[in-house]
């Protein structure tokens, strides 16, 4: 699990802007979706691909806990499964030899790498979409936005991998589309603590509210109770 460290001046700046610790202090579970980004064998299976993020295996229990809590409260769970069928040529400048071919082959639909990690708890009623860009919400990447809008979803809980790539990209575009976004610090993962914390600091200031699993599960339960009261 990543060691999370947010500088005090960032926390103090957030508190000054908002007047409270959290931007979102409650949710409407019926209008909330847990977004589980790219928790596939390509990223989680040891030695399967150059895409592997070992820390992603450690966040599986937390994602499953949030999913159970939200389903029980009447919310929605949505999984993205990435497929690098279309590779932006510009990415070649940032990747080592062989990475492109490995990523395309190991995320192709129908291959083991494309499948959800076997420890992820997925329900038959959950949403599943294939995306082909880091952001699930950018034009042409997936039909996730249309599916969520049809269900009246206005709040997202972002989890998965990579924190500073697909999770952050999807969060920024979701906020721009007017979703309220919660980003879960101990249910997202990337290559290193430094990269993870940098992404948390980036998103928590203007595009997402940062929560941890324990407090989030409690908030989901409390929100459900208020709705039933």
CB-based contact 160:167 (threshold 8 Å) = yes
CA dist list (Å): 52 to 113, 191, 198, 205: 10, 9, 20, 29
Q: Total structural domains in the chain?
A: 1
Residue 208 forms part of a structural domain: yes
CB-based contact 82:117 (threshold 8 Å) = no
- Longest pairwise C-alpha distance within the chain: 58
Q: Return the percent helix, strand and coil in the chain, to nearest 5.
A: 45, 15, 35
Q: At what angle do helices 60-72 and 213-228 cross, to 10 degrees?
A: 0
Residue 43's domain comprises 8-228
Residue 73 forms part of a structural domain: yes
pLDDT at res. 90? 87
Task: State the sign of the Cα–Cα–Cα–Cα dihedral 64, 65, 68, 70.
Answer: negative
Residue 99 forms part of a structural domain: yes
Domain CATH for 77 = 3.40.50.850
pLDDT at res. 167? 98
pLDDT at res. 228? 59
Residue 2 forms part of a structural domain: no
Structure tokens at 52: 């592997």
Residue 3 forms part of a structural domain: no
Structure tokens at 164: 């500073």
Residue 192 forms part of a structural domain: yes
Cis peptide before 162 (omega within 30 of 0): yes
For 102, other C-beta atoms within 10 Å of its C-beta total 18
Query: One digit per residue, pLDDT tens: the chain, 229 residues?
Result: 899 999 999 999 999 999 999 999 999 999 999 999 999 999 999 999 999 999 999 999 999 999 999 999 999 999 999 999 778 888 889 999 999 999 999 999 999 999 999 999 999 999 999 999 999 999 999 999 999 999 999 999 999 999 999 999 999 999 999 999 999 999 999 999 999 999 999 999 999 999 999 999 999 999 888 775 4
The CA distance from 59 to 165, in Å, is 16
Residue 1 forms part of a structural domain: no
Residue 16 forms part of a structural domain: yes
- The partner residues of 157 in beta bridges, in order of sequence, read 34, 182
pLDDT at res. 24? 93
pLDDT at res. 229? 45
Q: What are phi and psi of 156, to 5 degrees?
A: -120, 140
């Amino acid at each position: 699990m990543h060691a999370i460290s947010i500088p005090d001046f960032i926390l103090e700046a957030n508190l000054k802007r908002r007047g409270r610790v959290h931007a979102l202090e409650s949710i409407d579970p019926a209008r909330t979706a847990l977004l589980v980004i790219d928790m596939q064998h390509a990223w989680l299976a040891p030695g399967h691909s150059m895409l592997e993020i070992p820390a992603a295996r450690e966040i599986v229990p937390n994602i499953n806990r949030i999913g159970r809590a939200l389903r029980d409260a009447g919310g929605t769970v949505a999984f993205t499964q990435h497929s690098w069928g279309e590779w932006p040529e510009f990415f070649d400048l940032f990747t080592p030899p062989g990475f492109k071919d490995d990523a395309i082959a190991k995320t192709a639909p129908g291959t083991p790498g494309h499948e959800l990690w076997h420890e992820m708890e997925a329900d038959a009623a959950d949403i599943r979409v294939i995306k082909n860009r880091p952001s699930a919400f950018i034009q042409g990447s997936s039909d996730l936005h249309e599916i969520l809008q049809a269900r009246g979803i206005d709040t997202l809980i972002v989890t998965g991998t990579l924190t500073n790539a697909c999770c952050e990209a999807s969060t920024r575009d979701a906020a721009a589309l007017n979703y309220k976004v919660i980003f879960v610090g101990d249910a997202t993962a990337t290559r290193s603590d430094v990269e993870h914390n940098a992404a948390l600091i980036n998103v928590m200031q203007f595009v997402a509210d940062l929560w941890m699993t324990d407090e989030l599960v409690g908030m989901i339960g409390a929100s459900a109770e208020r709705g039933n009261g």
